[in-house]
Amino acid sequence: MKFSTLSSSACWASSVSAAFDLNRAGAVSKAPAGDSFTSATGTFTVPALSGTSRLSIWIGIGDSADQKYVLGGGILFNSTLSSFSAFFPGAATDTTAQVPVAGGNSITVTVAIEAGAGGGSVTIENTSQNKTTRQIIAAPAGVDPASLTAAMADWWVQAYQVRDGELVAPPSFGTVAFTAVNATTRSGGAVNLAKAGAYEIQGTSGQMYSKTTVSETGFEVRRLM
């Protein structure tokens, strides 16, 4: 799975309030000044997917607005459904053997940054099939732990890229609702996720492919067109 940086593929409308991306829709929350995220979680139902278009639905914690280093996990659709965990830009780990995925399944993902360890954990639970995996993932090789600031928490519906910079039309996914969303910070302070920034998928000709709704109880991404 490829993760293009927000700085190169997204156009910010204002600081973590609204943005447009060529491949992704969802919500991004910024940690309070001087603080960082320790965990992010959410639950979603796998939509009915078909055809040749590719999609991923996942939750992550990124280092900054540029999101150069992101710990995350979730599900992929590329003709078949699978689950994964990764510390981007490192390679993803296929966790489908431990947590298989089918349309209509309820998936809970929890991402946690391990203090001082330069890495973290990704827990993926398929409550519909009673399957769970917890993956311990080291930071990408050669990365200074000081740069892993964990400043952003992410909930994404993303057209799945095979090659860097690839533009992929998202498949028809209906509406994906992230419920039971939560994010914790190192200071223990409360994070108002209702103030998370909404991302929309916008094509190169300006066409809008998504509508994201942000609220205190969760995030909803609806496929347009």
Give the pLDDT confidence of 60-86 residue by residue, as tens digits: 999 877 788 999 999 999 999 999 999
What is the structure's pLDDT at 58? Answer: 98
Cis peptide before 89 (omega within 30 of 0): yes
Q: Please report which confidence band the pLDDT of residue 11 belongs to, taking 50, 70 and 90 as the band edges.
A: very low
Q: Residue 111's beta-bridge partner residues?
A: 40, 122
φ/ψ of residue 147, rounded to 5 = -85, -10
Give the number of other CB atoms < 10 A from CB of residue 208: 13
Average pLDDT over residues 9-31: 69
Burial class (CB in 10 A: 0-12, 13-18, 19+), 189: exposed
Residues in the chain: 225
User: How much of the chain, in percent, has pLDDT values that exceed 90?
Assistant: 63
Q: Check: pTM over 0.85? Answer yes or no.
A: yes
Check pLDDT > 50 for residue 5: no
Domains of the chain: 6-223 (2.60.120.700)
Q: 129-134 long-range contacts, Cβ below 8 Å, gap at least 24?
A: 129/99, 129/100, 129/102, 129/105, 131/98, 131/99, 131/100, 132/98, 132/99, 133/83, 133/85, 133/95, 133/98, 133/99
What is the structure's pLDDT at 117? Answer: 63
What is the structure's pLDDT at 162? Answer: 67
Give CA–CA dist 6/156, Å, rounded.
12
Helices (H), the chain: 6-9
What is the structure's pLDDT at 141? Answer: 85
Q: How far, in Å, are 126, 130, 141, 205, 222 from residue 156 at the CA level?
A: 18, 23, 25, 22, 12
Give CA–CA dist 54/172, Å, rounded.
10
The region of weakest confidence among 32-41, 57-66, 156-165, 169-178 is 156-165
What is the structure's pLDDT at 147? Answer: 77
